[in-house]
Amino acid sequence: MDLNENSTQVQSLLSSADKSIFPAFAVSLISCFLLSIIVGCIDSPIGGLINTETRCVRQNVPGLNGEWRNGALTLQAVRVDSNGVDQFTTDQSYSDGGVQGTATSGLLWEATLFWHWRGRSCYGDSDWFMSAGDE
């Protein structure tokens, strides 16, 4: 599977999506959530996860371009009212290339996904580098 082609297809679907097709846009109580990633995408040079130290993510050290949680892929559940009206605000300056930004209020839940780099530098430090095959 071509990871770049797959990513382009997903982005195209989401940008042109009719909200009625995707129930995730509806207001509902989330009782179960599953996240899966394609094998090989962790160290892919195109769209791979950023390698960083756990402490950098937990301490919210800004990434190379000011990214939230040191550039880790961050999933957030935010507050909306029963009519679907936003009860949260976001800030795009914490999201390098993201269109939604990071929740600055109304955050209910947050999870991060990143390539754990034990004993190494934070993403954005002068000695940080991307090296395939490191753990």
Q: Note the pLDDT tens digit of each residue in 47-71.
A: 678 888 999 999 999 998 889 999 8
Any domain includes 74: yes
Any domain includes 105: yes
pTM: 0.67
Any domain includes 121: no
Domain that holds residue 57: 3-116
Any domain includes 111: yes
Any domain includes 19: yes
Q: Note the pLDDT tens digit of each residue in 80-133.
A: 888 888 899 988 888 776 667 899 899 998 999 888 877 678 999 988 877 554
Any domain includes 129: no
Instruction: State how many domains the chain has.
Output: 1
> Taking a C-beta distance cutoff of 8 angstroms, is the pair 68, 74 a contact?
yes
Any domain includes 85: yes
Q: SS3 letters for 45-82?
A: CCCCCCEECHHHHHCCCCCCCCCHHHHCEEEEEECECC
Any domain includes 60: yes
